[in-house]
Amino acid sequence: MPAPCYCYIIECADGTYYTGWAVDPQRRLAVHNKGRGARYTRMRLPVKLVYIEEQPDRTTAMKREIAIKRLHRSGKLKLIVGVGKKVGSKKSKV
């Protein structure tokens, strides 16, 4: 059985959002904040994790990442403040 993966949204210091996926989102966040993550986040440090979704496997996580990236900012905000598992909520598994 494949290990679960996670889709995440991080908020950059300039207020923009970056979406990605990871097996260990907390470790990935640390990589972003050390300036070794995505090129997009390197110039927008520090970043903070604002949204996370557990996915059953890598393929599903990658597909969900693409779907979230296609959303406009307003769609991402709806995910962050409402519908899904928010970081720090009782629903979040990370």
**pLDDT tens for each residue of 5-62:** 999 999 999 999 999 999 999 999 999 999 998 999 999 999 999 999 999 999 999 9
C-alpha to C-alpha distance for 51 and 80, rounded to whole angstroms: 6
Q: Is residue 87 pLDDT above 90, yes or no? A: no
> What is the count of structural domains for the chain?
1
Write out the residue range of the structural domain in which residue 52 sits.
5-83
Tell me whether residue 45 is in a domain: yes
For residue 55, what is the enclosing H or E element? strand 48-55
Helix (H, G, I), strand (E, B) or coil at 17: strand
pLDDT of residue 82: 83
Q: What is the CATH number of the domain that holds 51?
A: 3.40.1440.10
Task: Give the side-chain half-sphere CA count within 13 A for 12.
Answer: 16
Reported pTM: 0.82
Burial of residue 4, with CB atoms counted within 10 A of its CB: 0-12 exposed, 13-18 middle, 19 or more buried: middle
Tell me whether residue 88 is in a domain: no
Tell me whether residue 92 is in a domain: no
